[in-house]
Amino acid sequence: MLMKNQLKQQLLRALLVAFILGNTLLILTGKLYFYKALVCNFANIDDNTIFDQRVIKKSTQPQPWPLSTQYNKTTFSKSLKTFHETEKSIAFVVLKNDSLVHEEYWSGYGDNSLSNSFSMAKSVTSILVGIAIKEGKIKSVEQPIGDFLEEFNQRDFKKIKIKHLLTMSSGLNWDESYMNPFSMTTEAYYGNDLWRLMLRLRVLHAPGKDFTYLSGDTQLLSFVLQKATGKTIGAYAQEKLWQPMGALNNAEWSLDKKNGTEKAFCCMYSNAKDFARIGVLYLHDGNWKGKQLVDSNYVKASLTPAPLIDSETGKPNDFYGFQWWLIPDYKGERIFYARGILGQMIVVIPSKNIVFVRLGNQKPEKVGNHYKSTLDLVDAVLKEVM
């Protein structure tokens, strides 16, 4: 018995020493965010409750969506209803000809509920770049990022242009892992100093050749935007998008700390009907009810596959533009969309004048470069929405 007690004491001492050493290491390396990541386990659609937020104020001239004569009369198939249940949808909104055809909500969420955009925020960031170019605050997508960020105007960084960040072809050493608690993406999400994280970036490959999906490219783009406009991207989005597009509700954008920097690669919180405004804006080539918010040439370039090689498959890119996902030919339809990791999507089917938004809470299955859920919803909408 005495030996057993001694072994227990030795084990407890060893665990205590390991804890102290581990905690000291986390402090010394600035990785105390690890504890938050450990407690939260995985990113959630309601994470605005655990982070500081920047409010994007609703429009002072709200523009509710007109209701279609077919509003909520569409009878979707039983398989689609099963899909929404199994895939944990919280919102599904369909617009045709700029009118609301269908809206449906689950799990206590409603038309005013905020939830996380995740990487749909990348498409919003791209739109803000287009607006900054239209306003002359950025010369063009060919402008080097070093013109705005002194720290990136040296060595191999000098070769990186805005278009390389937009098309995910920067060649930087960002670690996109979502499961590794020590990856750059995890630190960006749970940490409190995005700029310090940017300063750890290094160039691995020449930019402009290979597509490699890196959330760091979008985050770096947001720092370019801040320097170019003199505003936070949340404030810029409020002025240039949420106000003129008549958003009905405040949105939020998660920050790395109080009064800090927006997590541009993710984490804009809004509702399905206001997210739909993003899709409708691009459906109309950047024009909102007669006002050109984004230059149509930029929109066209955004929705054109960048001439790159996919680093995973070695095949030419035909699925990604300026932070927008592209399906050039799906059953005869050209489709583009914004997407987030838990099945968030803003999908545009131009030939049908259709935009639909799906928000949810479960990571979907991938088919090639696209989510199977995206394709399933496209099929259902094309079949049922006339």
**Per-residue pLDDT tens for 218-274?**
999 999 999 999 999 999 999 999 999 999 999 999 999 999 999 999 999 999 999
Q: What is the span of the domain harbouring residue 243?
A: 39-384
Contact 20, 223 (CB under 8 A): no
Domain match, 23 and 154 both? no
Q: Cα-Cα-Cα-Cα dihedral of 309, 312, 315, 319, to 10°? A: -80
Return the pLDDT at 262. Answer: 98
Distance CA 361, CA 89 (A): 6
- Catalogue the E-assigned strands of 6-98: 53-56, 89-96
Q: Are 344 and 326 contained in the same domain?
A: yes
What is the C-alpha to C-alpha distance for residues 43 and 36, in angstroms, rounded to an integer?
11
**Do residues 20 and 43 share a domain?**
no
What pLDDT score was predicted for residue 27? Answer: 46
363 & 286 share domain: yes
Query: Do residue 132 and residue 193 come from a single domain?
Result: yes
Cβ atoms of 307 and 167 within 8 Å: the answer is no
| Cα→Cα distances 338→40, 117, 139, 155, Å | 25, 9, 25, 33
Output the DSSP codes for 283-328.
Answer: HTTTEETTEESS-HHHHHHHTS--S-EETTT-SBP-SBSSS-EEEE
Q: How far is CA 341 from the centre of its chain?
A: 8
- Could you tell me if 272 and 364 lie in one domain? yes
Whole-number pLDDT of residue 75: 85
List the chain residues with pLDDT less than 50. 2, 12, 14-29, 35
Total domains in the fold of the chain: 2
Same-domain status, 20 and 65: no
Q: Rounding to the nearest 10 degrees, give the CA dihedral for residues 100, 106, 108, 110.
A: -10
Contacts of 307 (CB under 8 A, 6+ apart): 316, 317
Can you tell me which residue has the tokens 């920097």? 261
In terms of domains, do 57 and 15 share one? Answer: no
266 shares its domain with 358: yes
Claim to verify: residue 13 and residue 128 sit in the same structural domain: no
167 contacts: CB under 8 Å, gap ≥ 6: 208, 211, 306, 308, 320, 321, 322
- Spatial separation of the C-alpha atoms in residues 378 and 374, rounded to whole Å: 6
Judgement on whether residues 336 and 256 belong to the same structural domain of the protein: yes
Tell me, yes or no, whether 280 and 352 share the same domain. Answer: yes
| Unique residue bearing structure tokens 């404030």 | 235
What local confidence, expressed as pLDDT, does residue 16 receive?
Answer: 44
pLDDT for the residue numbered 40:
54
CATH number at residue 255: 3.40.710.10
